Amino acid sequence: MAKAPKAPPEPPDLSQYEDPWCVYATEAQATHAIESLIDVSMGHPKVGTNAETSQPDPTAQQTLTWAEAREISIGGWGFPAPPQQHLPDDPGEVLEYDPAWFPAPGAP
């Protein structure tokens, strides 16, 4: 007997955070989520569009990223969460930003 497919989990409510970050175990996971934000959720494909012809134009200006994934001191990689309506399908673990994640260079 086949198992019924699971419903996708409800996205976290970002209103409970002051400065939410999406945190992932690996840089690859964080980078994939960022690329998904731009291309799928926000509707900015990687190939730009010619303003006059509306045709794809690889030389046209294009949106490349929402943010850069950063390695955090508690382990993992993260980036500032986008607005609620643009959360990636897999937002990773949503955590409140902590300045201690990025100690100053040379700090103990």
Average the pLDDT over 54-62 and give the result: 73
User: What pTM was estimated for this model as a whole?
Assistant: 0.70
Give 91's contacts (C-beta < 8 A, 6+ positions apart): 11, 12, 22, 33, 81
Q: What is the pLDDT of residues 20-52, one digit of tens each?
A: 999 999 999 998 888 877 655 555 556 667 778
Does residue 64 carry a pLDDT above 80? no
Phi, psi of 28 (to 5 degrees): -60, -40
Domain that holds residue 69: 18-101
Indicate the number of domains in the chain: 1
Per-residue pLDDT at 101: 94
Give dist(CA 94, CA 65) in Å, integer: 19
The answer as to whether 10 is a domain residue is no
The answer as to whether 12 is a domain residue is no
Give dist(CA 35, CA 56) in Å, integer: 18
The answer as to whether 5 is a domain residue is no
Does residue 71 carry a pLDDT above 90? yes
The answer as to whether 40 is a domain residue is yes
The answer as to whether 31 is a domain residue is yes
Band of the pLDDT at 85, cuts 50, 70, 90? confident
Per-residue pLDDT at 99: 93
The answer as to whether 51 is a domain residue is yes
